[in-house]
Structure 1
């Protein structure tokens, strides 16, 4: 095999590996238009829409509105965005979705907490025991409707860091907590939530 053939195979493999993740080390991932949203995410168009750079999700207490990326998150990543819960009490980031399991990182108005938990989500089912899951870590935070919150999530070397407004911070070891260490990204709302300035980037 000559050098040109070897180089071609290497480039092909590199492109393939980058295409399977939601972000690469060379760039940040952003949702910029509706066509990109439709091609790269799984969702019900009656529940999630993108307009004027704002991603809006709608759900209800009995049927949560869910959107899930088609691509894997990088091994180490940082996610930043702002969220406004305009209706109801729950907004959740689904991390490392692997089959039916994921990490719950969410804002919960009823208990006035931010939370890290172990999640289960069975697609197409609204049965209570087939969604959500137990709380592992929580910290008090006053949460209100119609207020923007800045969320930052970092997963690096199997450590998870979750902060809101750069003040209230939770962290844990994915391995010690028996949480998913790889998978996809998603969002859940049980009312209405608006997301802006979403960026996802790979970190070293």
Structure 2
């Protein structure tokens, strides 16, 4: 019986490793080891380091620090993590990045807002108009450096829910807002940012 369970477990591991999505319905993706950072993610500019379960990204006003997954997000998913903008004014989660377009979900310290927007990204060009994009929805929130925030993002049935500290949140319909419905996940910072407890779960 124990042998059969072990074989089944190995089978699911093989399936998840061959999957085109970053997480499957059988396996929640959790970023824990530096080897995973190199094998599952691409660093487009500046540096990103995973140490002691904390992912640290460094960027500047030009170029930004950009990290993009190598695999697609599932159709329906939930993303949970904690973030500390230790020395930055912008931290952005790129959702459904595909063909240079993505959904912007970000914390913006200068305007003291959390935002959902329409983004463009050209990995070969960080000039004005080739990164970022327009704001679609925003909500005021007091944001500080060197403070940890709990972020939750959920996309299900074409509805996007984005919350910080379980109290400030934004919602929108992806299709109605003419936003990407599939693609990869990425992170952007214009300074130093720390991320921990990153988990990506497939929703049914």
TM-score (ref. length: structure 2): 0.91
CA contact (8 A) 2:73 2:182 kept: yes
Structure 1 distance, partners of 2:174, 2:168, is: 19
Structure 2 matches for 1:122-161, cutoff 5 A?
122-161=122-161
Cα deviation for residue 17 of structure 1 reads 9.6
Cα deviation for residue 90 of structure 1 reads 0.1
Change beyond 3 A, Cα 1:15–1:88: closer
CA contact (8 A) 1:18 1:24 kept: no
Q: Which residue of 2 aligns with 1:86?
A: 86
1:116 aligns with 2:111: no
Change beyond 3 A, Cα 1:24–1:18: farther
Change beyond 3 A, Cα 1:177–1:152: same
- Structure 1 runs, 4 residues or longer, greater than 2 Å off: 14-18
Cα deviation for residue 202 of structure 1 reads 0.2
TM-score (ref. length: structure 1): 0.91
Task: Pick which of 26-35 and 126-135 moved more.
Answer: 26-35
Cα deviation for residue 27 of structure 1 reads 1.7
Q: Which residue of 2 aligns with 1:96?
A: 96
1:83-124 deviation digits (Å, cap 9, x = unpaired): 000112000000000010000000000000000000000012
Structure 2 distance, partners of 1:107, 1:18, is: 33
Q: Which residue of 1 aligns with 2:8?
A: none
The CA RMSD measured in Å over matched residues stands at: 1.7
Uncovered stretches (5+) of structure 1, i.e. residues with no partner = 1-10
Structure 1 distance, partners of 2:39, 2:94, is: 19
1:135-156 deviation digits (Å, cap 9, x = unpaired): 0000000000000000000000
Aligned to 1:38, the other structure's residue is in SS state helix
Cα deviation for residue 193 of structure 1 reads 0.4
Structure 1 distance, partners of 2:145, 2:200, is: 25
Structure 2 matches for 1:187-202, cutoff 5 A?
187-202=187-202
Number of corresponding residues: 192
Structure 2 distance, partners of 1:52, 1:15, is: 28
Change beyond 3 A, Cα 1:16–1:27: closer
Aligned to 1:195, the other structure's residue is in SS state strand
Change beyond 3 A, Cα 1:16–1:50: closer
Structure 2 distance, partners of 1:53, 1:88, is: 20
